[in-house]
Amino acid sequence: MSKQKTEIKEFNTPEEFYRKYLKIREEHRSKGFENQFPNFSDKETEVEFRNFHIAYEEKPWTLYNIDLKIPKNKIVAIIGPSGCGKSTLLRSINRMNEEMAKIRTQGEILIEGENIYSPKVNKMRLRTQVGMVFQKPQPFPRSIYENIAFGPKLHGIKKKEQLDRIVESSLQSVGLFEEIEGRLDDHAYGLSGGQQQRLCIARTIAVRPQIILADEPASALDPKSTYQIEDLLLKLKEDFTVVIVTHNMQQAARISDYSIFMYNGVVVEYDKTENIFEKPVYELTENYISGRFG
């Protein structure tokens, strides 16, 4: 299949870029390309972005007009060069952006049909539904048990047996329970980097979210631990929807079902992962994937 060569040149703000992108998209469509974002029925959809914009303080929009649906029980990878807004997009799903700076938004993000940016929504409840795993393994400087029990305790689970079972099942589902052989009261810093990251995933699972957001969860780990984490994410897909930001193209190709390619605050391409990696529609996507910039 011959590819349409189109240059996307210099631009300043995501807004300006989006205008150019629209033109190019129309051109593509007129030439008969299938460049619609994947569509899912309401039942299949976990998160829906509706013309979502976000900006920090008084600066111009950081993300411009995000309009897509994330399917249930799939792994969706967000890829793109540094500073394109991947992490901002990820964090806007559990509203962590506003914990770091003042933000303003436009448009909606729907989870179970409810706009999470509406004033009625409780941020704390939202975060029990949408868990997050950070880039570096960052367990609390406490025992393994306390690390996992922190979330459930916070949300009112006080009975020891219940907590025990939550801790246990969470550790089991990340495959750490056997490895630590019941040394639950050991300090979390005694674990290896990969184990620490899995502990962090277990900690997130312990509050029973529907969605797990992972911000480059394996970028600070060695290859073996990375492989374990990837394996784990693939397993978790059965129970959770996973959205992952990654810089690692192979990782995205290996584990994700769908991929979102972002550039300059705009979602350029969103499709099944194999399509993105094998026959990207835009030259920009192809350049990025083949490593010509990043």
Partner 1 sequence: MIQTEVDNLKVNDFIVNPATSQLQKRENFYKLIILVLQIISVSTIIILVAVISIMVWFGSPMFAYPDRLLQMVTENKWFPEDHFEDGEYGALAAIAGTFMVGIPALILSIIWGVGLAIFLSEYTRESIARKIQPAVEFVASVPSVIFGMIAFTYFFSWFSEFFTQEWIRGIMLFFGYKVEVIPKGTYLAAAVALAFMTTPIIASISLDAMRSTPLMLRNSAKAFGATKWEIFKTVVYPHSKKTIFASILLGFGRAIGETMVVLMVLGNAPVLKLDLLVNGMTMTSVISGYWGEASEGSSLQAALFVLGLLLLSITAIVVYLASLITSENKAVFRFVDVLLKPFNYIGDGLGSMAQRFMQELELTEMQIAKMSKRRKLANIIIGVLLGTILLSFILAVYVSIGRFLISGMDYFFAPGETSSMYRINVTLRGDPKNTFVRLGLIGLFTAITGTISIVTMSAAISFPVATITGIYLSEFAPEGRLTIWIRQSIININAIPSIVVGLFVYALFSVGLNMGAGILPGSIALSIMMIPIITTNTIEALNNIPSHHMSSAIALGATRWEAFWKHKFPYALPNIFTGYLLGSARVSGETAPLLFTAATFTPPATPIPTNLTHQAIRVLPYEIYYRLLYTTTRVNGEKVGSDWAVAASVVLMLFVLTLTVAGYFVRTIIRRRYAYNGEI
239 sits near partner 1 (criterion: CB under 8 A): yes
124 sits near partner 1 (criterion: CB under 8 A): yes
Select from 71, 80, 85, 131 the one that contacts partner 1 (CB under 8 A).
131
The amino acid sitting at 147 is N
Task: Name the DSSP class of 190.
Answer: G
Select from 167, 211, 232, 260 the one that contacts partner 1 (CB under 8 A).
167
In DSSP terms, which residues pair with 103 in a beta bridge? 56
For partner 1 (CB under 8 A), the number of binding residues is 46
40 sits near partner 1 (criterion: CB under 8 A): no
254 sits near partner 1 (criterion: CB under 8 A): no
Burial of 236 (0-12, 13-18, 19+ CB in 10 A): buried
Select from 71, 80, 85, 152 the one that contacts partner 1 (CB under 8 A).
152
Q: Which is nearer to partner 1, 164 or 274 (CB)?
A: 164
Select from 155, 224, 279, 292 the one that contacts partner 1 (CB under 8 A).
155
Select from 200, 201, 242, 266 the one that contacts partner 1 (CB under 8 A).
200
Angle, helix 160-173 to helix 144-154, in steps of 10 degrees? 120
182 sits near partner 1 (criterion: CB under 8 A): yes
On whether the CB atoms of residues 95 and 132 are closer than 8 A, the answer is no
CA dist 265 and 85 (Å) reads 5
In DSSP terms, which residues pair with 111 in a beta bridge? 47, 114
Burial of 213 (0-12, 13-18, 19+ CB in 10 A): buried
287 sits near partner 1 (criterion: CB under 8 A): no
In the range 45-74, which residues lie near partner 1 by CB under 8 A?
none
On whether the CB atoms of residues 176 and 122 are closer than 8 A, the answer is no
Cα 246 to Cα 39, 191, 240: the distances in Å are: 23, 24, 18
CA dist 101 and 30 (Å) reads 41
Rg over alpha carbons for the chain, rounded to the nearest Å, is: 20
Q: Which is nearer to partner 1, 94 or 285 (CB)?
A: 94
CA dist 109 and 45 (Å) reads 12
204 sits near partner 1 (criterion: CB under 8 A): yes
CB of 214 to partner 1, least distance (A): 11
156 sits near partner 1 (criterion: CB under 8 A): yes
- Which region, judged by CB under 8 A, interacts with partner 1, from 1-9, 106-114, 136-144, 269-277? 136-144
CB of 164 to partner 1, least distance (A): 5
Q: Which is nearer to partner 1, 240 or 282 (CB)?
A: 240
Contacts with partner 1 by CB under 8 A lie at 94, 96, 99-100, 122, 124-125, 127-128, 131-132, 134, 136, 138, 140-141, 150-152, 154-157, 162, 164-170, 172-173, 177, 182, 184, 187, 189, 200, 203-208, 239
